[in-house]
Each structure stands twice: as structure tokens, then as C-alpha cells.
Amino acid sequence: MLIKYGFNIEIDIWQETTILTALDIEPGRISDIIVEHPFAATSVASVQPYTDGFGNICRRIYGLPGTVSMSLEGVVHDAGKPDPIAHDAEQVPISMLPVEALPFLLASRYCETELLNDIAWSNFGAVHGGWARVQAICDFVHDRLTFSYPNARATRTALEAYNERTGVCRDFTHLAVALCRCMNIPARYCNGYLGDIGVPADPAPMDFNAWFEAYVGGRWYTFDARHNIPRIGRILVARGRDAMDIPMIHTFGPHALRKFKVITEEIHDSVYAMAAE
């Protein structure tokens, strides 16, 4: 399967401003990229790629006053298989976890485990099995929260999402991640592309998506509390403890969003061949 991906984002700034981005496909999928038009930016003095502490590909951009435009487009090969399921994956004792998984047990900016601990244990303490426990958390979050773009708020935490019972994909993910950590299951926040492949088309404009990975059965597995079904064609961009670690765009100064377009769609070989000519 071939998936076309990309973005075209414009922001207005009123002074010279440093901008950090996490918008490139994660390093593990680079070998799957068939073709990619390089990252392009206008109204900038410099663009410096770097790798952050979580292994994500990022950029430091020095933007000039005016409209800063950022774009990228490519085609990636995907196996076309849904997210894997492993019902028999057991929870790994903390003493046996790889040390790199340990930070994903701790509270973070948007995942207040210390405030959700009693809620988690009262709801999932009797659930046995690592996979079963994470899936029970996904079911709980999926049923408790109502997806609503109008109610989106950049500062909403996991506890606030639990209490307000509404949010967008990042809120579903933060709450699920926090509840997993309360149950001593490492969980990390993910964002990236997820097109309407194998599911009815969503009439809302395409956007980046958030989901999470939980460490059970000796490896990381993908879970999605918002959609709560295995999906086809995920393209991971970045991983972190929560959205604070991996904002797709972070500016060190005020900005206003002028344009935001995201592309994620399956294309056929013939269409790709015509576009490549």
C-alpha cells in the first residue's frame, strides 16, 4: 500500500522568533519512504535539523517577521495491515522492564498519575493480564469522553479530561496514558498521520492524530483510545511522555495560525507513477 502524506502550515509572527518543529516521519520509517519532497520553509533565516532526547527528528527554525510557511510532502510504503493485537501479552513487572521504559511510568505535564491513581485502581485493579488491562483502559476512556473539536483546549490535562468528559484525540490519549502509568504499565504519547483508510471517510478536515504505545508482553504495542479499533496506515511522527514533549510546532514568541492543511490518503501505483513522471 502507498500512502501520500504531507502538510502545509502557515503562521504569522511579528518579530524574529525561534520555532521548533516535530513534523518529520520518525526514523524507523525512513526506509519505507518512496519519495519525499524536502521540507520547505519561507520567511526564515535558517533551518537546523536535530534529533531530540526521544529520538524524534526535529527542526530549529529562525523565523522572520511576516508569514512563515512550512511544507513537506511524500509517499510512504505501508504493509496495509491493521494495528497488531496480542491478547496474551502479559504485564511486565517493573523490576524486569528495560530501563528506557521507566520514564514512561512517571507523571508528566499532562498526565497527573498521582491524582488519578485511586480512579485507576478502582476501575482496573481486578483486570488480569497486560493487554486486557490496557484494552479495558481504552474502553473506559473511549466511553467516558466525547470527541469535540469545539471543546479543544491546549492546556487540558488527563484529570481535566476525565472530569469534563470531552476533548480531542490528545485528551483521549493523555487520559489513557495516565491510567496505564497508574497501573504500572509504561505508556508513551504518539502523534502522526492517520488517514481514513479502511474506515468511513470523516467529513472533518484532515488533521494530525494522537495515540499511544503501551509496553506489555516485552514490547511496545499501539493503542488508540479515541477510535478504539485497530487501524490501517498509521505513520508515526514523534513519541514522548505527553504532548508537551513533542509539540508539532512550538514558538518562542506570539504567533497566529494562518493555514493548516494535512494530507494523508492512500494512492494507487498508477497514480503514483503519473505523479512521479
- Where in the chain are the domains? 2-79+248-276, 94-232
Distance CA 194, CA 199 (A): 11
Beta strands in the chain (DSSP E): 2-13, 17-21, 33-42, 44-51, 57-63, 66-77, 146-147, 166-167, 187-193, 209-216, 219-223, 235-240, 249-251, 256-267
Q: How confident is the model at residue 271 (pLDDT cuts 50, 70, 90)?
A: low
What single string gives the DSSP state of each residue in 114-147? HHHHHHHHHHHTT--SHHHHHHHHHHHHHHH-EE
Q: What is the pLDDT of residue 270?
A: 54
Kindly tell me if the per-residue pLDDT of 275 is higher than 70.
Answer: no
* CATH code for the domain defined by 2-79+248-276: 2.60.40.2250
Residue 118: what pLDDT? 97
DSSP-assigned letter for residue 108: B
What DSSP assignment string belongs to 41-69?
EESEEEEEEEE-TTS-EEEEEEEPSEEEE
Q: What is the mean pLDDT of residues 88-113?
A: 98
Residue that is written with C-alpha cell 477510535 in the block? 227
Say how far apart CA 45 and CA 47 lie, in whole Å.
Answer: 7
Alpha carbon distance 41, 255 (integer Å): 16
CATH number of the domain located at residue range(s) 94-232 in this protein? 3.10.620.30
Q: Give the pLDDT confidence of 52-77 residue by residue, as tens digits.
A: 999 999 999 999 999 999 999 999 99
Q: Write out pLDDT tens, residues 215-268.
A: 999 999 999 999 999 999 999 999 999 999 999 999 999 999 999 999 999 998
Name the β-bridge partners of 111: 108
Q: What is the mean pLDDT of the chain?
A: 95
pTM: 0.95
Question: Which backbone phi and psi does 199 adopt, to 5 degrees?
Answer: -135, 160
pLDDT at 104: 98
Answer yes or no: is pLDDT of 274 > 50. Answer: no
Condensed to tens digits (0 to 9), the pLDDT of residues 158-202 reads 999 999 999 999 999 999 999 999 999 999 999 999 999 999 988
Mean pLDDT, to the nearest integer, of 104-129? Answer: 97
Question: Is-contact 232 80, C-beta < 8 A?
Answer: yes
pLDDT category of residue 103 using cuts at 50, 70 and 90: very high
Task: Tell me: pLDDT of 276 over 60.
Answer: no
b/e sequence 207-222, b meaning 16+ C-beta within 10 Å = bbbbbbbbbbbeebbb
User: What local confidence, expressed as pLDDT, does residue 204 receive?
Assistant: 86
Q: What's the CA gap between 6 and 1, in Å, rounded?
A: 17
C-alpha–C-alpha distance, residues 3 and 75, integer Å: 6
